[in-house]
Structure 1
Amino acid sequence: MTRMSTLDAATAADSVAPPPRWAIWAAHLTTLVVLPSGLWRIALVLGYPAGYLDESFADFETPGAKVWMLTLSVVSELLAFLTIGLVRPWGEVVPGWIPLIGGRAVRPMVAVVPAAVGAVALTVMWANIPWWWTYPHNDMTDTGDLVVGILYQPLVLWGPLLAAVTVSYYRRHRSPRSRSIES
């Protein structure tokens, strides 16, 4: 990737059609569908049993478990936040404050391929969540089982939302040659 001047990178970003309103909403919604499960894990980190029976909750009291749950919550939210880059200028030109690569134009496939792989992985990973209540959760109270199931249900949308925003990004950034062939 060659280093572009800030003016060249801005011109490249301006030559792309703006994202459709639905894609902007879908990108922002992605961060919200991850939030409920992350807040539930943070409640566990803070010492609230959050639906677990006392003897089962003891497993979450270890420092390692707390670090894992907090890390998982923060990383999940940050990954969801990256979806917004597919509808914002920083998904087209790397912000100048980032060392070594700041100011460079983002090659579309550098964004599309990881986003598409992530969308497929997330869709597969969360596909069974709608059936949460059909699996036994002997380590949880009945209320806890209900609430945790509800908090995790939005994750089913994460993969499809990311896929839709990724397709929108790809369509806006494909080469002029491929656009003229399709027309």
Structure 2
Amino acid sequence: MRTRQERPTDSTPAPLPSPPPAPRWAVRAAQLTTLIVLPTGLWRLAMVCGFPSGYTAAGFVPFETPGAKLWMLALSVACELLALLTLGLVRPWGETVPRWVPVIGGRRVRPLAAVVPAAAGALALTAIWAAMPLWWTYPHADMTPAGRLLVGVIYQPLVLWGPLLGAVTVSYYRRTRPTHRED
């Protein structure tokens, strides 16, 4: 007896092929993004712990209130977590939501759901840190010479955060954009 083969209906979409892996340069750029944010977070955490971190005795204002400490801790953690999200643009969990995530686990990530916030973040970060090279042109009377050098050195790499994120975002979009098939 012959069995009838079932054909997919028009409402059943064919599974999309997996996008190609991220290029090596994009993976390295995403990893670099997480590293360039780390020194500034550690510097802020040192201040929360009471270390002057390059400020003069008169210039250092310790974070004595719980709110001020919480703000600095939250800022440091948030910056690092946002930088870590860049890895999602080069890892499989940025293409398919991990299964352990409630409700949406296992679903494909729509490319624009990742590209739009990443591109907006890249533009915002580029604008925020664009003036950082001017750090060296202004006097900082509240800092020691070594502290001024330290802060300048650890904050200068943040100028790259926006452009690196932008480049990785373009790579992600190119890899994951829907292709137009001829039926």
TM-score tier (shorter): 0.7 to 0.9
> In the aligned structure 1, how far is the partner of 2:160 from the partner of 2:68?
27
More displaced, 70-79 or 93-102? Answer: 93-102
Q: Which residue of the other structure, out of 56, 63, 74, is the alignment partner of 2:66?
A: 63
- 1:82 to partner: Cα distance: 0.3
Supply the AA of the counterpart residue of 1:54. Answer: A
Judge conservation of contact 1:95–1:102 (CA < 8 Å) in 2.
yes
Where 2:106 maps in the other structure, the secondary structure is coil
- Correspondence 1:34-73 to 2 at 5 A: 34-73=37-76
- 1:62 to partner: Cα distance: 2.9
Q: Percent identity?
A: 67
Alignment deviations for residues 94-123 of structure 1 (CA, whole Å, 9 cap, x no partner): 111111211111000000000000000001
> In the aligned structure 1, how far is the partner of 2:82 from the partner of 2:55?
27
Label 1:143 to 1:46 Cα distance change in 2 as closer, same or farther (>3 A): same
- Correspondence 1:32-181 to 2 at 5 A: 32-177=35-180
TM-score, normalisation: structure 2: 0.87
- 1:59 to partner: Cα distance: 4.4
After superposing on structure 2, the runs of 4+ consecutive aligned residues of structure 1 that deviate more than 3 Å are none
Supply the AA of the counterpart residue of 1:175. Answer: P
Structure 1 segments unaligned to the other structure (5+ residues): 1-10
Where 2:58 maps in the other structure, the secondary structure is helix
> In the aligned structure 2, how far is the partner of 1:170 from the partner of 1:127?
25
- 1:135 to partner: Cα distance: 1.9
- 1:79 to partner: Cα distance: 0.2
- 1:141 to partner: Cα distance: 1.4
> In the aligned structure 2, how far is the partner of 1:54 from the partner of 1:69?
20
Structure 2 segments unaligned to the other structure (5+ residues): 1-14
- 1:60 to partner: Cα distance: 2.8
The structure where helix makes up a greater share of residues is 1
Q: Which residue of the other structure, out of 20, 23, 27, is the alignment partner of 2:26?
A: 23
Judge conservation of contact 2:47–2:62 (CA < 8 Å) in 1.
no
